[in-house]
Chain A
Amino acid sequence: MSELATPEVIFAGTNGGALTDIADYEAVGGFTALKRAQAMTPDELIEELNASGLRGRGGAFFPTGRKWSFVPKPDQIAKPHYLVINADESEPGTFKDREIMLRVPFRFLEGCVIAARGIESKHVFIYIRGEYEREFEVLRDALEQMRAKKLLGDVTIVLHRGAGAYICGEETALLESLEGRRGQPRTKPPFPAIAGLYASPTAVNNVESITTVTPILELGGAEYAKLGVANSTGTRVFSLSGNVERPGNYELPHGYPLRDLINVVGGGIAGGRKLKAVIPGGSSTPILTAAEVESVTLDFDSMTAAGTAIGSAAVIALDDRVCMVQLAIRVSQFYEHESCGKCTPCRVGTRWLTQILKKLEAGRGDHADLDLLLDVGGRINGTCLCPLGDSDAIAVASYVSKFRDEFLDHIEQGACPHNGGSSLEGIQAPTDIHAAHLHHANIERRFEVIA
């Protein structure tokens, strides 16, 4: 993109393509960061990370250097230390880690070896989303090339494929899954730094965070920190999707105006329509109205001040055709489907939210249902082991608070005011299909019993 005044950091040297041959990667300076890192002590590495200001790119924005510093030294806990990479990208709207793995697999794997040194680990597990088959193959091939060149040293890297469960992006659920159990979150404490994988000291980092470690070592932490803005240093790969002319992944510095991402980089709203709302950081983040989009920038502080979050940097632009009640249903159905079932408020609450929303959409709701919706959401928030249920409740509550009139129109008109013209009209979610199948199954079974 010519209008970008920022140097690429994650995708540097790719010229818009992919660096999947090790010679090509070396030709653009590959593995110089690893050599630098090998001359440094683990503490010096953590210092470099702290100087860079790098914060986790998975969604929580936790300082990466600090996370590593929480992992005890080998003499403090004499168990193997583990580095686990969260490549289970599944937050709706997010597709950046996938492009990173496809286009700069060596930069990512180089970051893994550096990070392993930072926490004094010899064992790296990459938990990659099951649906990412090509990405798995690219990483497997890249690993082979690195092994052949003995670039892994005494570090082993195991690729472990997920099998379709959003919850495994939550770090303790991921660890459970990696240990061979159902992916359900653990109680915390103990935190993974102390008792993570196999009850041993573990750092769990996102793909983009670890890939960024490599250029940080090349540039130096202080130099990297000059990119972006205070509290949100460096660049970020923003996933832009929805009703824009040019959706895609764009590496931009933090602090870039959201409006410009949509209108300049993304080419504006498709078909010359009007922007209605933006989900700024993955489907779990509170929505912004078109008016709010005008003034926010893509960084932690600006997003927090606007009452939302930068999350996984997944920006979903929605044009004026979208029905906010239908949006709430579809988002809620996702969390209902992906709830692991361990905590009752989430298991029951996400389903309940969907049911209330469906009643409202059908024009059968009244004002008490709107109160009930917010009340049920309020009873999910903060009452579970992980934030999956909260994500549903918070997202839905934000639609109600910012588009209340549209919810009220459904009640007062006794029908959806979009009158069949919403861009989400008639969409089938997996939960709808499960429900239809269960219905058939029950009827059949009942006949058997009667017979």
Chain B
Amino acid sequence: MSTLQTEIQEIRSRYPDPLSAVMPALQLAQERAGGWLPEAAFREVAEALDLTPAYCLSIASFYDMFHLEPVGTNNIEVCTNVSCAVCGAKDVVDAFEKELGIHAGDTTEDGKFSLRAVECLGGCGWATVVAVNNRHRLHVQAADVPGIVQELRSE
């Protein structure tokens, strides 16, 4: 049994029904696989939980935070819902597009950055909210973007 599968067994024990472990198991598998879910991850999770890989895929494809294709080492998500939008989210997206040389929805060729426009991140009073690998940066303005990208490049 792989390490991942051993850890999934621990997750499984938290729930009265092992099926409940499918989401946390996929989250763990995605973390281990570098931020996305390759086919092998589905096979491992399925085996650990006595499910089919297809079932696991049906779960992953429903939720926005599971990625079925490789994402950049730095997954940058800019909220473009109403509260952020009226406070300049477009300028922030534009600045990232310019700085990274890609469109929202794409990943840089070197695999270092993905840029996405996303729905409300729940930080409406701190617009614009930008999540980098799920860590939220608040009050981001277009002028902050070159600095953010430089900081992430040097990491």
Spell out A's residues near B (CB within 8 Å): 80, 89-95, 98, 123, 129-134, 158, 160-166, 177-183, 198, 239-243, 247-249, 279, 283, 314, 316, 318-319, 321-322, 327, 330-331, 334, 337-338, 340, 423-430, 432-434, 436-437
Contacts and interface: CB of A to CB of B under 8 A. Distances in A.
Contact of A279 (B58, B82, B118, B126): B82
B104 A163 contact: no
15 contacts: A90-B120, A92-B124, A93-B83, A95-B122, A130-B134, A158-B15, A161-B23, A162-B63, A165-B64, A180-B19, A183-B62, A241-B127, A248-B125, A322-B86, A430-B80
A198 B119 contact: no
B136 interface: yes
B14 interface: yes
Contacts of A240: 125
A334 B119 contact: yes
Nearest to B97: A428
Given A80-B16, A165-B62, A334-B120, 17 more contacts: A91-B120, A94-B122, A95-B125, A123-B16, A131-B65, A134-B135, A161-B23, A163-B64, A180-B18, A241-B125, A242-B87, A248-B125, A316-B124, A330-B85, A428-B90, A434-B105, A436-B105
Given A164-B63, A316-B124, A181 B19 contact: yes
Contacts, number: 171
B121 interface: yes
A327 B127 contact: no
Given A95-B123, A241-B127, A425 B82 contact: no
Interface residues of B, number: 49
Interface string B96-136: 00000001110000000000111111111111000100111
Interface in B1-23: 14-23
Contacts of B105: 433-434, 436-437
Nearest to A129: B122
Interface centre among B14, B59, B82, B121 (most CB of A within 10 A): B82
Nearest to B105: A433
A242 B104 contact: no
B24 A161 contact: yes
Given A134-B136, A180-B23, A182-B59, A318 B122 contact: no
A242 B80 CA distance: 12
B66 to A, nearest CB: 6
Contacts of B90: 425-428
A242 B16 contact: no
Interface string B65-80: 1100000000000001
A180 B22 contact: yes
Interface of B: 14-24, 26-27, 58-59, 62-66, 80-83, 85-87, 89-90, 93, 103-105, 116-127, 131, 134-136
Contact of B58 (A98, A182, A331): A182
Contacts of A123: 16
Among A240, A279, A424, the one with the most B-chain Cβ atoms within 10 Å of its Cβ is: A424
A319 B81 CA distance: 16
A337 B127 contact: no
Nearest to A244: B125
A358 to B, nearest CB: 16
Pairs A-B, 4 closest by C-beta atoms = A164-B64, A180-B19, A163-B63, A241-B124
B17 to A, nearest CB: 6
A179 B86 contact: no
